[in-house]
Amino acid sequence: MVFIYREHAIQRMFERDIFEEDVKDAIKNGEIIEEYPDDEPYPSYLALKYFDNKPLHVVFAINKEANETIVITAYYPDKEKWSSDFKKRIKR
């Protein structure tokens, strides 16, 4: 599997001090908490993985034909916008 990082993802990872190894681990071993099957040009997903008890969200898409995983963004979720387990968005 080839990982491709969108410019937005690279910028946000740098700003937020998120490591490439953690992003890959979240995609490979994290829990998919949201799916966006109708996203274009490829279906995308939101993964959750904890690192040192700190949650990390990674949004990524999969291009199966080219065996590519496209990293769209990564962030540490805001506890005011997510449930206590960081799996569900809080509706306001």
CATH of the domain at 33: 3.30.2310.20
* Sign of CA pseudo-dihedral 54, 59, 62, 67: negative
Reported pTM: 0.94
Q: How far is residue 44's CA from residue 55's CA, in Å, rounded to a whole number?
A: 19
Domain assignment of residue 91, yes or no: no
Local confidence band at 1 (pLDDT 50, 70, 90 cut-offs) = confident
16-60: pLDDT as tens digits: 999 999 999 999 999 999 999 999 999 999 999 999 999 999 999
Q: For residue 45, what pLDDT is reported?
A: 98
Domain assignment of residue 47, yes or no: yes
Burial of 66 from C-beta contacts in 10 A (0-12 / 13-18 / 19+) = exposed
Print the domain residue range for 24. Answer: 2-75
Domain assignment of residue 85, yes or no: no
When divided into structural domains, the chain yields a total of 1
